[in-house]
Structure 1
Amino acid sequence: MGYAIVGIGTWFLVSDLHEGVLSNSSENRFCKLAILLGYTWLIGHGIWLLIGSSHPYFYDVLLHTFFLGFAFSMIWGHAPKLLPLFLNLRGTVFYDKLWWGIMVFEFSLASRMVASILEIPPLRKVFVVINGLVILLMFIMLLVGLVAKVRRMKETNYLIK
């Protein structure tokens, strides 16, 4: 299974790598970078399946490389564009402060994984807390962007009917 996951993640990464990262739009760069980071976490998940089975934190690293690294990177990469669509609104909820959120999220998750692999429980706990707070903060930032968008659309009467 590890080989298959590494293969799938590599295929996604290579096939998506050439599009969007060098875009002129900050929003497109943000979305594409988050998605590419998600593919990277998926590859890391597959590698960990292959090499980490005897490690004391095997399941911790295994679960969090997939569900936080891969899944949440995909959520951050798609949410600015898809969230308004689900609510029948035009446009996106992207704004530049989301860059800070994803940078801290990825750094704290990578640090958490390193602390787990090196078996440093106190450092791991610190990054667990930071990771959880950043996830909460990212959802709040997306909701704030969404509320601001709805207010602007009501003022200009651009809501889709």
Structure 2
Amino acid sequence: MRDPRGGPPPPRSRLAARRLPLFAGAALSLLAGLWSGLGLLGLGVPLPQGGLASQHGPLMALGFLGTLVSLERSVALGRPWGYSAPVLAALGAVAVLAGFVQPGRLLLTAAGGWLVAVYLVLLRRRPGYDTVIEMSGAVAWYVGGMLWTRTGLVTDLVPWLAAFLVLTIAGERLELARVAFLRRGAGTGMLAAAALVGAGAAVSVVHEDAGWRVTGLGMLALAGWLAAHDVARRTVRARGLPRYTAACLLAGYVWLAATGAMWLAWGLPEDGGGGYDAALHALFLGFVVSMVFGHAPVILPAVLRVRLPYHPVLYGPLVLLHAALVVRLLGDLTGGHGTRVLGGVLGEVSLLAFAACAVAASRLVRPAAPGARGRAARPPRSPEPSPTHPDPGMEPS
């Protein structure tokens, strides 16, 4: 992309072009994770290497989401060395896909350690409970990765992956709540709930069942805090993007509470089948992916400098995601294989549909005319404050 006046590409475009390969690595992990997920559903799809299906969870949580989280935090840091975290995560995912599983695990683990270093600098810049909680999520990534490289068992990794993603999201929501004039002392409640999630992951190392239960209790506490304090309770009554984002968040909090209840009641399901599958997908699809849908219109433009304007078409994948998850959990809990497969396939379709609808929205919503003046020339602003991105390329609109 060249400057329209014929000069060299502007700095922002060059910056986005450098980040694009990292985003492509995350997208490749997503596609590989979805394809291997079809194998786990028993659909008999061809896999590039025999063990790929067993890497479905790490590819989705660390290869896809880990690369995105570390890329967004590196943008916030604004220093070149910070980008080593998403580079390591993307390379680790590619190595796993190529069959070099142990080197891939080491690279993905190193990415988590590098992300901890990024958070240490961010914490020095802006101390607060929110950054501490997010950094705790990165620590969970790193510790879980160390266990994964030692045992190779994905089951050992699950509470740590849950802690990584739940604490990262919770910290970001606390950051927004703080900007929205959260009453003094309320952040202590989230810190206590986050500590339960981290403690559960730690306990799982010596007693898996108890660790899952403690983690579930922490998730329930976090869901209660978010239901009481998150600004989405107010913005869901707005219009356009604020309402859509709030709908994604509030639906996700319902699944977070449901996951917490299942983990607290069941612990680690012994059968390794329906109960285990339901417990995982309620969290990683119902909560985490719903958060991804809600934050994408804010995060992607900040990271890649691409337009992702709001359009009602975005509700389609959101509704499909949650409907598919209900169908899948019904199949898991009743033993209906066909129902489980249907829900699983529809869940994967919802993610691909979101990508398609995002592209469609960018074409359906036209930017303001270059000569427009006044307020009409400005894009609509969300009443919900956006996450802070201390990126030199970011300027207020």
- Range of TM-score over shorter length: 0.7 to 0.9
Letter in 2 for 1:122: G
Query: Residue 93 of structure 1 contacts residue 145 of structure 1 at CA under 8 Å; is this kept in 2?
Result: yes
Letter in 2 for 1:59: Y
How many residues matched? Answer: 156
Letter in 1 for 2:322: E
Q: What is the aligned partner in structure 2 of residue 43 from structure 1?
A: 257
Distance 1:51 1:152 in 2: 50
Distance 1:133 1:31 in 2: 20
Pick closer, same or farther for the CA change 1:154–1:32 going to 2, 3 Å. Answer: closer
Pick closer, same or farther for the CA change 1:20–1:116 going to 2, 3 Å. Answer: same
Residue 20 (1) aligns with residue 229 (2): no
Q: What is the aligned partner in structure 2 of residue 78 from structure 1?
A: 295
Distance 1:137 1:18 in 2: 27
Deviation of 1:58 (Å): 2.2
Residue deviations 1:58-113 (CA, integer Å, cap 9, x gap)? 221121111111110000111122222222357x5210111122111111112211
Query: Residue 84 of structure 1 contacts residue 93 of structure 1 at CA under 8 Å; is this kept in 2?
Result: no
Q: Matches of residues 1-161 of structure 1 in structure 2 within 5 Å?
A: 1=214, 2-16=216-230, 18-23=233-238, 25-52=239-266, 53-54=269-270, 56-88=273-305, 92-146=308-362, 148=363, 152=366, 156=370
Query: Residue 259 of structure 2 contacts residue 279 of structure 2 at CA under 8 Å; is this kept in 1?
Result: yes
- After TM superposition, the score normalised by the length of structure 1 is 0.83
Residue deviations 1:113-152 (CA, integer Å, cap 9, x gap)? 1221122111111111111111111112113334x28x95
Deviation of 1:155 (Å): 7.5
Distance 2:333 2:303 in 1: 39
Deviation of 1:54 (Å): 4.6
- After TM superposition, the score normalised by the length of structure 2 is 0.36
Query: Residue 81 of structure 1 contacts residue 93 of structure 1 at CA under 8 Å; is this kept in 2?
Result: no
RMSD: 2.6
Distance 1:89 1:126 in 2: 34
Query: Residue 5 of structure 1 contacts residue 42 of structure 1 at CA under 8 Å; is this kept in 2?
Result: yes
Distance 2:221 2:344 in 1: 29
Deviation of 1:44 (Å): 0.9
Distance 1:129 1:42 in 2: 22
Can you give the 5+ residue segments of structure 2 that lack an aligned partner in the other structure? Answer: 1-213, 372-376, 378-392
Distance 1:144 1:73 in 2: 19
Deviation of 1:47 (Å): 0.8
Query: Residue 233 of structure 2 contacts residue 246 of structure 2 at CA under 8 Å; is this kept in 1?
Result: no
Query: Residue 30 of structure 1 contacts residue 99 of structure 1 at CA under 8 Å; is this kept in 2?
Result: yes
Query: Residue 321 of structure 2 contacts residue 351 of structure 2 at CA under 8 Å; is this kept in 1?
Result: yes
Identity %: 24
> Residue 19 of structure 1 aligns to a residue in which SS?
helix
Deviation of 1:26 (Å): 2.2
Please tell me whether Structure 1 or Structure 2 has the larger radius of gyration of its CA atoms. 2
Deviation of 1:156 (Å): 3.7
Letter in 2 for 1:108: A
> Residue 18 of structure 1 aligns to a residue in which SS?
helix
Question: Please, which moves more after superposition, 108-117 or 30-39?
Answer: 108-117
> Residue 106 of structure 1 aligns to a residue in which SS?
helix
Distance 1:15 1:114 in 2: 31
Question: Please, which moves more after superposition, 12-21 or 99-108?
Answer: 12-21
